[in-house]
Amino acid sequence: MREIISVKNLYKLYRVGDSVVRALDGVSFSVYEGEFCAIVGTSGSGKSTLLNMLAGLEKPTRGEVIVAGKHIEQMKENELVKFRGENVGFIFQSFHLMGTMNALENVALPLTFRGEPRKERIKKADRMLDLVSLEKHKKHLPNQLSGGQQQRVSVARALVNDPKIIFADEPTGALDSHTSQDVMRLMQRLVREQKRTLVMVTHDRSQAEYADRVLEIIDGKIVHITENRRKEENERA
Amino acid sequence: MRWSDLLRMSVSSLRRRKLRTFLTVLGVVIGTASIVVMISLGLGLQESMYKEVEQNGGTTSITVTGKDSGGMMYGYSGMSSDEEESQKYITDDVIKDLKNVAHVKSAEPILSISVIALKGKYEGFIELTGMTPEGLKTLNLELEDGGRLPDPNSAQLELVYGNTVITNFYEKTSGRGYWDSGELPDIDLQTDSVFLILDQDGYYQSQSAASDIGGSAGESGEGGTASAKTPPKKHVVSASGVLKGGPDTYTVNSYMTFCDINKLRTYLEKEFRGRAIPGQPTTKSGKPYNKFVYSSAKVQADDMENVEAVSDAIRAMGYNVSSNIEYIDSMKKQFAMVQAVLGGIGAVSLFVAAIGIANTMMMSIYERTKEIGVMKVIGCSLGNIRQMFLLEAAFIGLGGGVIGNVLSFLMSAAINALVKGKEMGMTTGQISYIPLWLVLVSLGFAMLVGTAAGYFPARRAMKLSPLAAIRNE
């Protein structure tokens, strides 16, 4: 399996008053193509910081982050925006859909930023919404949709620009347990069907069950790596 | 991002906050309207001033007179022989020279002479001004219906009377005219032909000779010995037109009577054959000068800006020059100041509006911090984000500019209507005047102000960290 994300000796230090907080304290790991990888940790463990760095939203203090063969930590903001637009999809905890746009337009938004003609991007967005089984809600505004539906729109938006990697930041944090399950299953299915790489950050161990591999992070250090898929495969065998 | 998408997003985010957008736009509306209306007032004043100058001989015309042509100096200065050499008379050759001066559009001679007109029991003094057909055209004379300019090829001398010339006629017997009796003489200058007497001296001599029959003998002795016993020839002339306006409407030309210059010249030369024509310079011995001398020349510069240069050039040739340029110059300066003051007052309100725009945009950015972050995370480039906010600000400016201009036109119309109601026809111009360029400039300016006001907020939006979007509160 090909490495798509590779993190080497990543440090992130924050200065809080006089003391220095180590949010990330020498993290090294790899994520492989077509893998569903969960990063689990309590709040303050550094998991969100790690995700931010993988996505290039924060600069590391030291260390390397190589995503799809590119050194993220050395990129300028403009390059990062372009890189994200081409290679990365994002799923947020509180969905972050544009309130003035209907589901279809929201899904098409990343393509809009890339300057695709309206017809084409609407066609693609339409297909994506079918994929997340929101056929009946294409013309609805976000406030006319339930939380689960909004997160599905968000998933469709993350997939629409055909990214290699999808980052999800507590994707079920704002959902009840039932819809959480739905969304998790959906993501799991999509990753497997479309051979995409998904990196998810969560504090909920039960959500991590859906992942192929679980990285447990405590105080800025990866303390445990669980291989779920292998287990599954073993069980099947 | 495509422009159409940028536009759509900007407009939709403006529409999302209708009240705030409306209030911000309102600020720009007031700012734009105050600038436009203020400047329009200044322009209206300027326009009516120019119109006045136009009637006073125009902004481009220069009057050239010969040096010392008044002849008053002769009596006082003993060294007349030297002066004769230095005399600068306006002759045909000089007119030709004037035409060759740079920036001169036309140079036309003018011949003025005062004559006496007779009609029935009325007698009147007329200041007759002979001009070439081209020169007459440049005066932009407004004639009563049916009138035309004098035909240079007509058999008779044809006149164009000024509208107040009629008040110069008075009854021969009583000496009472319009100003005494308040009654206009019973003459229709347009249709009636009058007798013109070119030789005033001869006329008075013959008059006094006639009256001497029953009058004092002492004076008649002298009068009788004078050469002109026979009254001078009466020329029958008719009008080709009368200037527009009643006896109480004053313009620069209202007291004038115009005719064709060459016709007048032939009449004069015939009348005064062998003698000096009044107004013509004479040699020391009282003989007429060998060339015909015009009273003055009217030179038109091709542009108002060149009047100064042309004046200087002609002055250097040794002639007296008078034009409206000093007047115009001081007027220009005054108006520039008035414009600046009025425009400045308006600009202050637009400046306040600009602060309003900046504030609104800033608020909007704080509100949308998350949204901006999300856009950045899902692939909106920094430039696009800046453009989006600049566009929003520009829209506020443009919208305010458009509505402000509409408002300005309404206000301008209202001002003009009010003023028109008050003063009756004294100034023909409008007091508030909005030319097309003012509309365009104010629109552009409003948009520019909007964009400038939006610049720093837009930069701020561009520099916002995308992390803000990820952070969950």
Tokens in use for A226? 């669980």
- Predicted confidence (pLDDT) at residue B192 exceeds the cutoff of 60: yes
Q: Which secondary-structure segment (H or E) carries B256?
A: strand B256-260
Co-location of B251 and B160 in the same domain: yes
Contact A96 B370 (CB under 8 A): yes
* Closest to A165 measured CA to CA, from A86, A81, A58, A104: A86
Report chain B residues touching chain A, CB-CB < 8 A: 1-2, 4-5, 12-13, 15-16, 370-371, 374-384, 465-467, 469-470, 472
Q: Is residue B241 exposed (0-12), middle (13-18) or buried (19+ Cβ within 10 Å)?
A: buried
User: Quick one: closest CA in B to A81, which residue?
Assistant: B379
Note the pLDDT of residue B239. Answer: 81
Q: Are B382 and B358 in contact (CB under 8 A)?
A: no
- Predicted confidence (pLDDT) at residue B402 exceeds the cutoff of 80: yes
B367 lies in some domain: yes
Q: Using N-to-C axis directions, what is the helix angle for B18-55 and B325-367, rounded to 10°? A: 180
B152 lies in some domain: yes
B217 lies in some domain: no
The three-class DSSP label of residue B408 is: helix
* Closest to B138 measured CA to CA, from B301, B322, B372: B301
Q: Are B413 and B31 in contact (CB under 8 A)?
A: no
CA–CA separation, A20 vs B176, rounded Å? 113
Question: How many Cβ contacts (< 8 angstroms) between chains A and B?
Answer: 76
Co-location of B344 and B319 in the same domain: no
The three-class DSSP label of residue B159 is: strand
| Residues forming a β-bridge with B124 | B117, B169
Best residue in B369, B378, B381 to probe A by mutation, most A CBs within 10 Å?
Answer: B378
**Closest by Cβ to B381, choosing from A48, A82, A96:** A82
Domains belonging to chain A, first-starting first, are 35-53+81-236 (3.40.50.300)
B31 lies in some domain: yes
- Within 8 A of A54 by CB-CB distance, chain B residues are none
CA–CA separation, B188 vs B166, rounded Å? 9
Maximum alpha-carbon separation in chain A: 55
CA–CA separation, A166 vs A164, rounded Å? 7
- Within 8 A of B472 by CB-CB distance, chain A residues are 93-94, 169-170, 173
B163 lies in some domain: yes
Question: Given CB atoms, is A94 within the 8 Å cutoff of chain B?
Answer: yes
Reported confidence tier of residue B175, pLDDT bands at 50, 70, 90? confident
**How confident is the model over B285-300, as pLDDT tens digits?**
666 666 778 888 888 8
Contact B377 A109 (CB under 8 A): no
List chain A residues with pLDDT less than 50: none
User: Quick one: closest CA in B to A53, which residue?
Assistant: B467
CA–CA separation, A94 vs A117, rounded Å? 29
Note the pLDDT of residue B227. Answer: 46
Co-location of B20 and B160 in the same domain: no
Query: Among B275, B296, B323, which residue terminates a domain?
Result: B323
Is the pLDDT higher at B1 or at A41?
Answer: A41
* Closest to B361 measured CA to CA, from B12, B13, B8, B5: B13
Note the pLDDT of residue B289. Answer: 67
Co-location of B273 and B413 in the same domain: no
**Which one of A178-192, B104-118, B427-441 scores highest in mean pLDDT?**
A178-192
- Within 8 A of B374 by CB-CB distance, chain A residues are 92, 96
Best residue in A14, A54, A57 to probe B by mutation, most B CBs within 10 Å?
Answer: A57
Query: Among B323, B352, B375, which residue terminates a domain?
Result: B323
- Within 8 A of B16 by CB-CB distance, chain A residues are 99-100
**How confident is the model over B83-98, as pLDDT tens digits?**
444 567 788 888 888 8
Distances (CA, A) of B442 to A217, B34, B117, B397, B403: 61, 11, 58, 10, 11
Q: Are B64 and B442 in contact (CB under 8 A)?
A: no
Distances (CA, A) of B177 to B113, B128, B165, B244, B324: 22, 20, 12, 21, 34
User: Quick one: closest CA in B to A82, which residue?
Assistant: B379
Co-location of B152 and B279 in the same domain: yes
Contacts of B65 (CB under 8 A, 6+ apart): B90, B295, B296, B297, B319, B320, B322
* Closest to B332 measured CA to CA, from B57, B59, B38: B59
Best residue in A14, A58, A113 to probe B by mutation, most B CBs within 10 Å?
Answer: A113
Co-location of B103 and B25 in the same domain: no
Co-location of B319 and B341 in the same domain: no
**How confident is the model over B403-413, as pLDDT tens digits?**
999 999 999 88
**Reported pTM:** 0.68
Contact A92 B467 (CB under 8 A): no
Co-location of B11 and B64 in the same domain: no
Q: In percent, how much of chain B has pLDDT > 90?
A: 12
Domain that holds residue B67: 60-198+233-323
Is the pLDDT higher at A1 or at B370?
Answer: B370
**How confident is the model over A52-80, as pLDDT tens digits?**
889 888 889 999 999 988 899 889 888 88
B222 lies in some domain: no
Please tell me the number of Cα atoms within 13 Å of B123 on its side-chain side: 14
Q: Provide the residue count of chain A.
A: 237
B387 lies in some domain: yes
Co-location of B314 and B443 in the same domain: no
Co-location of B115 and B95 in the same domain: yes
Query: Among B267, B290, B323, which residue terminates a domain?
Result: B323
B178 lies in some domain: yes
CA–CA separation, B251 vs B256, rounded Å? 10
- Within 8 A of B13 by CB-CB distance, chain A residues are 100
Contact A115 B376 (CB under 8 A): no
Region B357-382 average pLDDT: 87
CA–CA separation, B108 vs B95, rounded Å? 7
Note the pLDDT of residue A217. Answer: 93
CB atoms inside a 10 Å sphere around CB B39: 24
Co-location of B351 and B267 in the same domain: no
CA–CA separation, B90 vs B108, rounded Å? 10
Distances (CA, A) of B65 to A85, B1, B69, B88, B107: 82, 71, 8, 8, 12
Residues 43-62 of A with CB under 8 A from B: 48, 51-52, 55, 57-58
- Within 8 A of B376 by CB-CB distance, chain A residues are 81
Co-location of B68 and B191 in the same domain: yes
Note the pLDDT of residue B399. Answer: 93
Angle formed at CA B378 by CA B377 and CA B379, multiple of 5 degrees: 95
Number of domains in chain B: 2
- Burial per residue of A69-103, b for 16 or more beta-carbon CB atoms within 10 angstroms, e otherwise: eeebbebebeebbebbbebbbbbbbbbbbbeebbb
CB atoms inside a 10 Å sphere around CB B336: 12
Q: How far is A48 from chain B (nearest CA, A)?
A: 9
Is the pLDDT higher at A105 or at B152?
Answer: A105
- Within 8 A of A52 by CB-CB distance, chain B residues are 467, 470
